[in-house]
Amino acid sequence: MKRILAMIVACAFVFAAAGCSKDKAKEKVARAGVVNFVVGDAFLIMDGKESKAKVEDAIKEGMKIKTTGDNSSIEIYFGENAIKVTGNTIVEVKSLSTYVATNNEETSLYVEKGEMFSKISSKLAKGDVYEVKSPTTTAGVRGTEFLLTEDDAKGNIAVVDGAVEVKNNSKPGDKAVVVNQDEEVDVVKGKDMVKKQLSDDKKRRLKILADIREMKKEIWEKMRQQREEIKKAVEDQRKANKEMLDKQKSEDKARVADQKETDKKNIGDIKDKSKEEADKATGDAKAKMEESKGGDTKAGADAAKSMMDAMKPKIEKKLGNQ
């Protein structure tokens, strides 16, 4: 009985710790991008409120970036990586965070319509995620420069450098197509993707789009400060998680010890009570034997034996339950 209770408590702790571990793996710290350059009309939309985009504005998770007019554009840095949103485009920042447990970064952008050029400055660290989606297309990268276009229910991925894994959202079971440097692929609902070489005209246009301005000094300083703040937030959260887990372990250990003491006391009480009942039964039987001496000896002995036989199963049952 003691072992069973101890095992139950121990198992409860294991499951609780496993649950905590899963929760910790999902914990994130918010990051932010910074507007580096704006041409024409560009707007930031957050919680239904729209404001004109300005250099040094922060770009946060859940925000939408909108440009109006063919010649409008906005350049944004997310750490060392940058995007250029061209005219008449809407992009939503779906995810922009750092995982506490691993320090990996997750960036997910959604192009509702229009064009967005991504410039990943270096190969992403193992576990980092940079993903661009549109209604038709999902593009996953490790380190590259590419343009995603979404126009009239048709997507297109054109790669300047590196490689991009492209999936057709309407055919989730199909294997991703890897689009390499100087290649492009159209993405149309329900149709297979076929790669082709970039035309010279498109190469020239992509070269222009790839010319994203260097990060301004004051913006670089903001990004540096943000990284320090994120690093501190991650360390603080890890420390808080460890303290919480240590506290939980201590409390569970104390509960196991308390349960053992309770079990020990309960078993002792049962033994004492069983012994009292056994002693009483023996005493009653002896009394009957004494009474039989003055009368019918056989009748008294039979009565004493019957009493002992009747009590024996009860005593054995109680002692057996210990």
For residue 26, give both structure tokens. 């999902």
Q: Tokens 């996953």 belong to which residue?
A: 140
Strongest mean pLDDT among 5-9, 121-125, 197-201, 292-296: 197-201
Give the Cα separation of 153 and 84 in Å (integer): 21
Which pLDDT score is estimated for 114? 98
Contact 117, 209 (CB under 8 A): yes
Output the DSSP codes for 100-145.
TTT--EEEEEEEEEEEEEEE--SPPPTT-EEEEE-SSEEEEESS-E
Give the Cα separation of 280 and 131 in Å (integer): 81
Share of the chain above pLDDT 70, in %: 77
- 38-47, 122-131, 289-298: the lowest-pLDDT one: 289-298
User: Predicted confidence band at 280 (pLDDT cuts at 50, 70, 90)?
Assistant: confident
Report residue 40 CA to chain centroid gap.
40
> Residue 254 above 50 pLDDT?
yes
pTM for the model stands at 0.65
For 100-121, what is the mean pLDDT? 93
> Residue 18 above 80 pLDDT?
no
For 123-152, what is the mean pLDDT? 92
Which pLDDT score is estimated for 314? 62
Give the Cα separation of 164 and 139 in Å (integer): 6
- What is the residue type of 21? S
The closest alpha carbon to 58, from 39, 77, 84, 38, belongs to 77
Which pLDDT score is estimated for 263? 82
Report residue 202 CA to chain centroid gap.
40
- As to burial, measured by CB atoms within 10 angstroms (0-12 exposed, 13-18 middle, 19+ buried), residue 134 is buried
The closest alpha carbon to 220, from 103, 38, 79, 76, belongs to 79
Q: Tokens 């994203």 belong to which residue?
A: 212
